[in-house]
Amino acid sequence: MTVVKTRRFSPLLAVIAFGCLLIAGGAKAAVEVQRVVSPGGIEAWLVEEHTVPFLSMRFAFRGGAKLDPAGKEGLAELASGTLNEGAGDLDALAYQKAIDDNAIRLGFDAGMDEFGGTMETLTERRDKAFELLALALTDPTFDQGAVDRVRGQLLSGLERDTKNPNAVAQKLWQRTVFPNHPYGRPASGTIEGVTAITTDDLHQFVRDRLTRDALVIGVAGDVTAEELGELLDRAFGGLPESGPPFEVAEVAPAASGAVLIERMPQPQSVVVWGQRGVKRTDPDFYTAYVMNHILGGGGFSSRLTEEVREKRGLAYGVYSYLAPRDHAGLFLGGVATQNERVAESLEVIRAEYARLRDEGVSEQELADAKTYITGSFPLTLDSNAEIASRLVGMQITELGIDYLEHRNQLIENVTVEDIKRLAGDLIDPNSFTVVVVGDPVAIEPTAAR
């Protein structure tokens, strides 16, 4: 077994040295990320934490719902709901009783770019937990009755989505900007797709997609590197080495400039908009990250909240965010406001994007954003669950095992000039695809530009 240790110091100290005058002291936290390679060759990144007797593990297989075959939209989602419905010699009830009897927390999820899982277990039940996980990953039963039951639950959820303004807005937006790409389809599937999936499809999904070459693992908690090595082999050692290769085209969201309105009977309209953004691997990612924080990512410190909520009382929530996908960068936003004030809200919001594009940000705004983004970083690493998830994200996006050490420096490096340049190049309120779901007044749908 190979164990490479990388000592990491929390950047809080550095933050404070770089920060504004309000910051006067500092604290240091050591989070040591270890690269663990099991005897069988399974790699995981580990942060040991022995104060509480449990561990959190997050794992992900690259791929995800974007690989759902045409006509079988929802395959990854249905797999995520049925892997734990019986495995090996255990039927669904026996399997779930084993999970519950041992207070194991196990769940799978289908994202657009990854198929993921999360497991938490008490130290005293650790062996059982990894054994049950192995069964689910390598020998799921996919009993027809259980699959049909879970399918029924998914279909019920998809039907409810048709009346849920948030879901309607999200799906319509995706469909509009990605008309000819898997990203245009909902990760949760479609009614037709979920209906068409067979148990053979599920077995093939497991064979093709749950493979070692697509797997990344993050663990935090009460386990040593040596112990983890054995557990990794137990859970993941039986997976096939690789599956059929896949290729997904790079894509940019259509810059339609259209306003689409979906009429639904409700007092408040749900509005979402978006345009192209930057991918996680883009050299401008950190500039975009800080820029977005100032515009609409920073809650009460953001310009959108100030203008829309604090000054005008137009909404409870308004926000923007970067959504970097494997094959596309997105820069998205949303607001919910009473039907009578949708037009006014959109006008205020578009004006804020235009102001950012034309004027950039001030030195003070940048300094405040940096202080928050860097200073709050350790707060996001305070639990096993968060750390395990972060370790997986770092591997998926190939940030390097020492990322936590220099992440704050990457934020500190951003300048007002960088933001001015990127905002000028990137932001284009006229290109927004806007979806309004509700019964808005004084706003008409427009065709794509």
Query: Taking CB under 8 A as the criterion, which residues in 6-35 touch another protein?
Result: 10, 12, 15, 19-20, 22-29, 31
Cα angle 86, 93, 219 (rounded to 5 degrees) comes to 60
- Return the range that interacts with another protein (CB under 8 A); candidates 32-40, 166-174, 204-212, 349-357: 166-174
Q: At 219, is the secondary structure helix, strand, or coil?
A: strand
CB of 57 to another protein, least distance (A): 12
Looking at residue 83, the DSSP 8-state letter turns out to be: T
Mark the segment that binds another protein (CB under 8 A) among 33-41, 106-114, 193-201, 229-237: 106-114
160 binds another protein, rule: CB under 8 A: yes
Which is nearer to another protein, 101 or 402 (by Cβ)?
101
Q: Which of 405, 392, 381 is nearest to 43 (CA)?
A: 392
- Of 115, 94, 104, 100, residue with least CA distance to 215: 115
Considering only residues 390 to 409 of the shown chain, the ones binding another protein according to CB under 8 A are 390, 392-393, 396-397
Q: Which listed residue (56, 141, 211, 287) binds another protein by CB under 8 A?
A: 56
Q: Applying CB under 8 A, does 371 fall inside the site for another protein?
A: yes
Element (H, E) at 354: helix 342-359
List the Cα angle 280/285/288 in 5-degree steps: 130
Q: Nearest approach, Cβ of 155 to another protein (angstroms)?
A: 8
- 13 burial (CB, 10 Å; 0-12 / 13-18 / 19+) is middle
Task: Please tell me whether residue 123 adopts helix, strand or coil conformation.
Answer: helix
Going by C-alpha positions, the residue among 78, 127, 138, 80 that lies closest to residue 104 is 127
116 binding another protein? (CB under 8 A):
yes
Q: What is the maximum alpha-carbon separation in the chain? A: 67
Is 329 near another protein (CB under 8 A)?
no
Q: Answer yes or no whether residue 128 interacts with another protein by CB under 8 A.
A: no
Count of residues engaged in binding another protein, rule: CB under 8 A = 115
* Contact call for residue 362 and another protein (CB under 8 A): no
Q: Which residue's CB is nearer to another protein, number 34 or number 305?
A: 305
Range 192-231, binding another protein (CB under 8 A):
none
Tell the residue number behind the tokens 């806007």, with chain if given: 434
* Beta-bridge partners for 87: 90, 140
Quick check: 97 binds another protein (CB under 8 A)? Answer: yes
Q: How far apart are alpha carbons 78 and 70 in whole angstroms?
A: 15
Minimum CB–partner distance for residue 39 and another protein (Å) = 28
270 contributes a contact to another protein by CB under 8 A: yes
